[in-house]
Amino acid sequence: MSTKKFLITLFAVIFGFAIVFSLVKVFKPSKVELSNYEEYAEYINAFTSGYISR
């Protein structure tokens, strides 16, 4: 995997997590369940691994 592709992927992962965490804060300010974070992490991992293998 080239360095450029790795950096783009890394940025996409960080950006995706930033969006997810901000959305979770907006919609669930009182309490945030750990399981939701795990689901989002699995979704992002699946997305990025599919993106890398392309």
Domain ranges across the chain: 3-53
Tens of pLDDT along the chain (54 residues) come to 688 998 889 898 888 888 887 777 776 655 555 556 777 777 777 777 776 665
**So what's the pLDDT on residue 50?**
73
**Cα separation, 5 vs 30, whole angstroms:** 38
Q: Are 48 and 9 contacting, i.e. CB atoms less than 8 angstroms apart?
A: yes
**Cα separation, 32 vs 3, whole angstroms:** 35
**So what's the pLDDT on residue 34?**
55
**So what's the pLDDT on residue 16?**
85
**Cα separation, 51 vs 35, whole angstroms:** 24
**So what's the pLDDT on residue 47?**
77
